[in-house]
Structure 1
Amino acid sequence: MGERMQFTELDQYLFGQATHYDLYKKLGAHPVSYGRQKGVYFAVWAPNAQYVSVIGEFNDWDTQANPMEKAGPIGVFQVFVPGAREGQLYKFYIVGMHGEELYKADPYANAAEMRPGTASRITDISSYKWNDGVWMKNRPRFNEKKDAMAIYEVHPGSWMKHPSTEDNREGFFNYREFGEMLAKYVKEMGYTHVELMGIAEHPFDGSWGYQVTGYYAPTSRYGTPQDFKYMVDYLHRQKIGVILDWVPAHFPKDAHGLANFDGTAVYEHEDPRQGEHPDWGTKIYNYGRPEVKNFLIANALFWIEECHVDGLRVDAVASMLYLDYGKSDGQWVANKYGGNENLEAIEFFKHLNTVVLGRNHGTVMIAEESTAWPKVTGKAEDGGLGFSLKWNMGWMNDFLEYMKLDPYFRKDNHNKMTFAITYAYSEKYVLVLSHDEVVHLKCSMLSKMPGELEDKFKNLKAGYTFMMGHPGKKLLFMGQDFGQLREWSEERELDWFLLQEKEHRDLQSFVKDLLYIYRKYPAVHATDNDPQGFEWINADDAYRSIFSFVRKSPTKRNNLLFICNFTPVARPDYRVGVPRLKQYTQLMDENGRTGKKVFRAVKQECDNRPYSFAYPLPAYGIAIFQY
C-alpha cells in the first residue's frame, strides 16, 4: 500500500482516545492515486469481525475479490482497490464473530444511493470550491448571546415541491434550487437563520430524518454532497446562517446500518437495558466507548468544518442524559453511584461542545432538552454541558396551553404567560414553535387558536407579538408564518395557495414586520441573557388578560414597550404606566407597522408608576412603542 493513505499507528492511537477529529478523512471511501494507478482507498472499523471485504459495482459484488487487511489491534480494516471510481456503489461484506454474514453500508460514507436502495456511493467531497469566504471570515464575530437569531425551521422535502414527473415522481427540489428559493423567501421575511430537518441520510421518510443510517452523507433525496455544499454556500452568500438537526441519541436497527455492525454490539450497548429505547424501537449509542464518541464528535465537526454549517441543534438530549428515559423499572441499569444520570453521556457532551465551539468560534450548539437539568448552557469547566443555547420547552408548553384557551378562561391562567420569566435567565434560551407542535393531531398554529377564523388570526398575531418581545432567541416552523391550516405532513408541500387569500397574506406581512423590529432593535435581542433587559409594567392584569412589559436596550436608547390584549374586548380608555416622562412612538399595532404615532407620557399614576399615557387598545390589540 502506498504511503499517502493508510490507517497509521497515530490514527489508531487518536481513535482510541476519541480525539481523531478529522477521522472522516481516513475512514470511509476516498478516491486516490498510487503512482499511475487510480482507485479508491476503503477503511472500516469492525473490531470483532473475522473477515471483511469491500463489494461493489467495481467487482460485481464479489465477496472474495477485495479482502481487507487489519491495520492494527483497534480493529480497522483497509484496502486500496485499483479501478474503483467515483459514482460507483459499494458495501462492506463482514463475517461476524459467530460466522454471521453481514452486508453493511459504510458508516463514514459521504453519499448513498436513493432509498429504498441501501448501498453507499463513492464520492470525492474535497473537490467543491467554496465562495463564502466573506461569511466564514466574519463568522467568528457572531455572538449568540447578543446578536439577533430568528430561525426558520424547514423540512426540505415538504417545503415546496415540483409537479410529479416520470424522472422525479416525488417532486423533490435539488439542494441547489431549494437553497436559492429558500434564501429568497428567508431574506424577504427577515429570518436570520434556517434550521434544516432530515439532512443526514435516513431510510424512512416518515422518521423525518431522526433515524439516521448515514451520518456523514447528505441525503440523496435532494442531490449530491456537492449540491448540498452549494446550498450552504449560497445561503451564506445571502447572509443566512445554516443550522442542522443532529441526532446522536439513537439509531435504527436497519440491517444495513450501525446496529450489530460486525455481529456484536459495536456502536450500541450490548445489554438491551442500556442499548435500546423500548418506545422508539432504536439502539442507544455506547458513549463510554472512545471509538463511538469519536464517530459522533468527528461527525459534528464534519458538518461544521467540512460543510461550513453554522450550528447543530442536538435532538433528544434528555433521552441521553437519563438512563431511565422512557423506561420502566427493570428496563434500565443505574450508574455506579446508583443514580439515573448517564455519566458517560454527560462527559460526551462536555467533550463535544468544548471541541466544536473551541475550534469554530461563532458557531452554535443547541440542546433540545425537555427537563430542568441544570447548566445545560453552563460552561463545561463549571459543571455545565457546554451548549450555546437550549430550546425553552417549558415556555412553549405554557404559551400554547394559554393560547388554545377560550379568552373567557384566560384570566384564570394568566400565570402561564408570566411564569417563564421567573427562570428566563437560568439558561440561554431559544423560544420554539417547532414542527413537533403541528403534527400528530396537535393542529397547525392557526388551527390551535380559539374562535371563528377571523379571531384565530387575531389571536395568533397577539401570540407572535408576545413571543417576539419575550427574552430568548426565536424559532418558527415553516408554514406557521402565513397561517397554514392543515397539520404538517412530510408527504406534501406547504399550502402556499393560501397566500391568495387576504387574511393569510396579512398574517405573513405581520410576521415580516415583527421580524424587522426584532432585527432592528437591540432591545429585543441584545439583552436576552441580562435580567436588567426586561421589566414588567403590569404582569397582574389577569381580569383583562392584558400583558405590558418593556425590553431595554444595552445603550438605554430605543427601548421598547409591548402591550398585548388577549381578549376580544376593546379598551378605548386603556392607560399604561411607563418608566419615564418621555415621548412614546408607536412602531406597530395589530395591523403591522404603523406611521409612527407619538404619545406623550403625563404625570398620572398607573400600574404603580408615576407616569402614564392613554391609548385606545382594540380587541386582541397589540402595540409596540419605542422610547
Structure 2
Amino acid sequence: MPSKNTPILVKNDPWLAPFESDIQDRMKRFEARKKQLESEYGSIDAFASGYNYLGFNYDTKKKGWWYREWAPNASALSVIGDFNNWDRSAHPLQKNDRGIWEIFLEDKLYGSKLTHEAAVKVHVVSDKGGVDRIPAYARYVTQDEKTYDFTARLWHPEKPYKWTDKKFAPDQSYDNPYIYECHVGMAQEKEGVGTYREFADKILPKIKEQGYNTIQVMAVQEHPYYGSFGYHVSNFFAPSSRFGTPHDLKYLVDTAHKLGIAVIMDIVHSHAVKNLAEGLNEFDGSDDQYFHPGGRGFHTLWDSKLFNYGKEEVLRFLLSNVKYWMEEFHMDGFRYDGVTSMLYFHHGDISFDHYEKYFKDVDWDVLTYFQLANDLIKEIKPKGISIAEDMSGMPGLCRPVSEGGMGFDFRLGMGIPDYWIKLLKHKHDEQWNIHEMWDTLTNRRYGERTIAYAESHDQALVGDKSIAFWLMDKEMYTHMHKDTPSLIIDRGIALHKMIRLFTLSLGGEGWLNFIGNEFGHPEWVDFPREGNGWSYKYARRQWNLQEHPDLRYKQLYNFGAAMVQMANDEKIVGSLPAQQLNMDEDNKAIIFERNNLIFAFNFSPTNSVPDYRFKVPVPGKYKIILNSDKGEFGGHDRIDDEMTYPTVALFGEHFLSVYLPSRVAIVLKKVK
C-alpha cells in the first residue's frame, strides 16, 4: 500500500511500486543538489548566470572587458587577437583557487582595438603543449569561407537590439501546441544558405498562414559542419553565424512573436563535437574537463563527446546555456535532442520491454540536470516549453519534479513516424490493420503529454523518404499537374491527408510538421558534401511548387492549413484523449470522438459506403467542418458539406448516418 511519502508518480502508476526507492532517490538527489547550489550561489537563477561571469563581459563601471575561463588543468592561459597582434605572451590570465582564469582589459589601453566584432581567441598551455582555442562562452563565432577556421568575436554593438515583444506569452503553444519544425539555412528557394532575416520576412508568413503557433528551429547553436543538421555543436552560446548575426536571430524571434508564434530551439546538450580547434574537447589539456574521461566520454555512433553532468562547472555551463537563450534571445523553450542517449549509459541501445530497464544503467546525474533545467525554464517563463526527444518511455519524464518526474512538458511520439514508414514500405493498402493503427496512435503514457507527428526531419534525410515520396515517388516529377490524371497521385494525395489528420487528431497532445511536408515536398534533404559535389540542390525548399496554382502541391498545402486551423479552433490537441466509437475492419473504417467532434476515416481503397451508420455519444444535428475529399484539397467532391446530419434514436442509442467514400476523412461537429 502506498504511504503518505510515496511519490505521486508511483501512486498514479502502481506498476512503479517496485521502483519507489529509485524514484525517491531521484527526488532526494535533486533537492540535495538544489540546496547546495542555492547555499553557495544564492539561487539556481544566479548559478545559471555563469555567462555573465565567464567568457568576455564588458564592465560598464570599470570601463573595460573581463575575460574569464574555467580551465583547471591548464598551466597558462593568454588572450590573443587583433588587438595585440596575436601575441601569445602579451596578455596572460591569472588563475584562482577554483580553476578559473581571468584578466581585465581596460578601455584606456585597448578600447580603440577591443571594439564590436574584434577577433579574439585564447591560447591554452598544458602538458600537451600550447593551442589556440575558442573561448567556451563565446557569443559570436565566425567561420572563414576558405579555410573553415573559426574565430571568436566580441559582440558589443553600439545600439542593443530593441525588442517589441513585451506582451507576447507562449500560453497557446504550451496548452495547444502546433509546431512547425524548421531549419533556417535550408528554408529558402535558392541553392544556398538562407538567413535569419530571410526566414523572418519570407517564411514566417507562410507558417502563420498554415495556422501554426510555434516554430521549432534547428541548428541555432554554432557548429563547424553544416551537414550535421546542427547536431555537432562546437560553440554553445553562439548563434550560428552562417545565417547572420545575433541581432538577426533576435529579429527572427521578435518577428515571430509579433505574429503570435512562439519560438523553441533544438538545444543540444546530449553531446558535443570532438574537434579540438573549435570545440570544448581537451580544452585545458585533459580529457575529463567538460566530458567523461575515456570510453564513457565518447559516443561511438555519433563520433562525439559526452558531458559529465555531475561536475559543478559543467552543470553551470549547461544551465547557463538554458538561461542565456531564454533571456538574451527570448526563446520560449527547447526541444532537447538525444534524451534517451543521455539517460542511459547504454544510450538506449536496448529494447525497453520491462519497467526495470528504466532503472538500470541510468546516469543519475542526467536526471538531476533535467530536473534543474526544467525547474529553471519554468522560473524564467512559467509556460516555457520543454520537449524531450525520448524513445525509451522513461516513466515520469513528462511529470513535475515534485511528483518524482523530470519536469518535461512533452515527449516526442517517435514511434508514430516509424510506424507509418514501416506500413508504407511493407504492406499494401488492403493489408492495413485498423486495430493496429489505433493501438499505435493511442499507445502512450497516461498523464504524460506527447507531441504527435507523421514525419520530421529524420524521415526527410537522404537515405530515407518523406511520406509524400513513399506514396508517390517518381510520379511526383511528371504527374502533379491538375490536368494530368494519375491513380498513383490520387492515392498519394488522399492518404497523405488522411495520415496527417489521423496522427494529429489521435496521436498526442501536440502536433509537429517538418518544413515543406505540409505540401508534400517531393525530395529528401541532403546537405552539401563531397559525395554530392557540395551541392545545395537538396538543402532548400521549393516553395514555387506550393505557390503554383496548377500544381497539386497547392491542394495539400490548402488541406494542411484547413486541418491545423480546425484543430486550433477546436482545441483538439489540448483536449482529453479520443474515445473510440466504431471499428470496421471490412471497410477499413475508424470513427472516434475527441473534444466533442466526430472523426470518421475510411482507409479502404475501394469501399465507399453511401449510408454509413454509427453510434455517437450525444444526440443532435451535426455538420461537416473538415472534409478531405473537397476539390480544393485534391479530392473528388463526393460529399456535400452544406448538409446537416441529424441523429436517429435506435434501441436507446443515438446514431449518425453519413456518406463515407473510400480514402476519405471527415470531421463533424454538433451544431444544434
TM-score tier (shorter): 0.7 to 0.9
Q: 2:52 aligns with which of 4, 18, 25?
A: 25
1:271-307 Cα distance to aligned partner (Å, 9 max, x none): 3232110111111000010110110011011111221
Quote the offset at 1:55 in angstroms.
Answer: 0.7
Q: 2:205 aligns with which of 154, 169, 184?
A: 184
Q: 2:613 aligns with which of 569, 575, 580?
A: 575
Matched, 1:155 2:155: no
Name the SS of the counterpart of 2:84 in structure 1: coil
Matched letter for residue 63 of structure 1: R
1:15-36 Cα distance to aligned partner (Å, 9 max, x none): 999962111112112344566x
Closer, same or farther: CA 392–581 of 1 in aligned 2, 3 Å: same
Matched, 1:70 2:107: no
Residue 542 of structure 2 corresponds to which residue in structure 1? 495
1:215-254 Cα distance to aligned partner (Å, 9 max, x none): 1111001111111111111110111110100010100111
> What is the aligned length?
579
Please give the alpha-carbon distance, in whole angstroms, between the structure 1 residues aligned to 2:458 and 2:237.
25
Quote the offset at 1:408 in angstroms.
Answer: 1.2
Q: Are the equivalent residues in 1 in contact too, given 2:214–2:264 (CA < 8 A)?
A: yes
Q: 1:543 aligns with which of 586, 589, 592?
A: 586
Q: Are the equivalent residues in 2 in contact too, given 1:488–1:494 (CA < 8 A)?
A: no
Please give the alpha-carbon distance, in whole angstroms, between the structure 2 residues aligned to 1:358 and 1:388.
14
Residue 130 of structure 2 corresponds to which residue in structure 1? 101
Please give the alpha-carbon distance, in whole angstroms, between the structure 1 residues aligned to 2:333 and 2:92.
39
Alignment of 1:365-384 (within 5 A): 365-384=386-405
1:521-546 Cα distance to aligned partner (Å, 9 max, x none): 12x1331xx35xx21111x3223221
Matched letter for residue 177 of structure 2: M
Closer, same or farther: CA 357–517 of 1 in aligned 2, 3 Å: same
Closer, same or farther: CA 625–16 of 1 in aligned 2, 3 Å: closer
Matched, 1:323 2:337: no
Name the SS of the counterpart of 2:273 in structure 1: coil
Q: Are the equivalent residues in 1 in contact too, given 2:189–2:543 (CA < 8 A)?
A: no
Name the SS of the counterpart of 1:216 in structure 2: strand
Residue 526 of structure 1 corresponds to which residue in structure 2? 574
Provide TM-score, normalisation by structure 2.
0.81
Residue 489 of structure 2 corresponds to which residue in structure 1? 453
Matched, 1:601 2:647: yes
Please give the alpha-carbon distance, in whole angstroms, between the structure 2 residues aligned to 1:536 and 1:11.
49
Q: Are the equivalent residues in 2 in contact too, given 1:176–1:227 (CA < 8 A)?
A: yes
Name the SS of the counterpart of 2:611 in structure 1: coil
Alignment of 1:73-472 (within 5 A): 73-80=98-105, 82-83=110-111, 84-96=114-126, 98-115=127-144, 116-124=148-156, 127-135=160-168, 138-139=169-170, 141-142=171-172, 144=174, 147-162=175-190, 170=192, 172-256=193-277, 257-325=279-347, 339-404=360-425, 405-411=427-433, 414-423=435-444, 425-432=446-453, 433-449=455-471, 452-470=488-506, 471-472=508-509
Please give the alpha-carbon distance, in whole angstroms, between the structure 1 residues aligned to 2:323 and 2:346.
29
Structure 1 vs Structure 2: percent identity of aligned residues? 27
Quote the offset at 1:406 in angstroms.
Answer: 1.7
1:179-214 Cα distance to aligned partner (Å, 9 max, x none): 122221111111111111001100001111011111
Matched letter for residue 93 of structure 1: H
Matched letter for residue 573 of structure 2: H
Please give the alpha-carbon distance, in whole angstroms, between the structure 2 residues aligned to 1:517 and 1:509.
12
Structure 2: give runs of 5+ residues left out of the alignment. 1-36, 351-357, 473-486, 528-535, 634-639
Name the SS of the counterpart of 1:324 in structure 2: coil
Q: Are the equivalent residues in 2 in contact too, given 1:584–1:598 (CA < 8 A)?
A: yes
Residue 584 of structure 1 corresponds to which residue in structure 2? 622
Name the SS of the counterpart of 1:279 in structure 2: coil
Please give the alpha-carbon distance, in whole angstroms, between the structure 2 residues aligned to 1:148 and 1:11.
34
Please give the alpha-carbon distance, in whole angstroms, between the structure 1 residues aligned to 2:383 and 2:52.
24
Closer, same or farther: CA 447–424 of 1 in aligned 2, 3 Å: farther
Quote the offset at 1:176 in angstroms.
Answer: 2.1
Please give the alpha-carbon distance, in whole angstroms, between the structure 2 residues aligned to 1:574 and 1:602.
13
Provide TM-score, normalisation by structure 1.
0.87
Matched letter for residue 73 of structure 1: R
Q: Are the equivalent residues in 2 in contact too, given 1:462–1:590 (CA < 8 A)?
A: yes
Please give the alpha-carbon distance, in whole angstroms, between the structure 1 residues aligned to 2:645 and 2:381.
47
Please give the alpha-carbon distance, in whole angstroms, between the structure 1 residues aligned to 2:585 and 2:462.
32
Quote the offset at 1:326 in angstroms.
Answer: 6.2
Matched letter for residue 26 of structure 1: Y
Please give the alpha-carbon distance, in whole angstroms, between the structure 2 residues aligned to 1:295 and 1:183.
32
Matched letter for residue 140 of structure 2: A
Closer, same or farther: CA 447–414 of 1 in aligned 2, 3 Å: farther
Q: Are the equivalent residues in 2 in contact too, given 1:89–1:113 (CA < 8 A)?
A: no
Q: Are the equivalent residues in 2 in contact too, given 1:17–1:290 (CA < 8 A)?
A: no
Please give the alpha-carbon distance, in whole angstroms, between the structure 1 residues aligned to 2:349 and 2:103.
40
Q: Are the equivalent residues in 1 in contact too, given 2:216–2:265 (CA < 8 A)?
A: yes
Please give the alpha-carbon distance, in whole angstroms, between the structure 2 residues aligned to 1:73 and 1:12.
17
Q: Out of 208-217 and 20-29, give the one that drifted further.
A: 20-29
Please give the alpha-carbon distance, in whole angstroms, between the structure 2 residues aligned to 1:397 and 1:444.
11
Please give the alpha-carbon distance, in whole angstroms, between the structure 2 residues aligned to 1:521 and 1:89.
52
Aligned CA-pair RMSD: 2.6
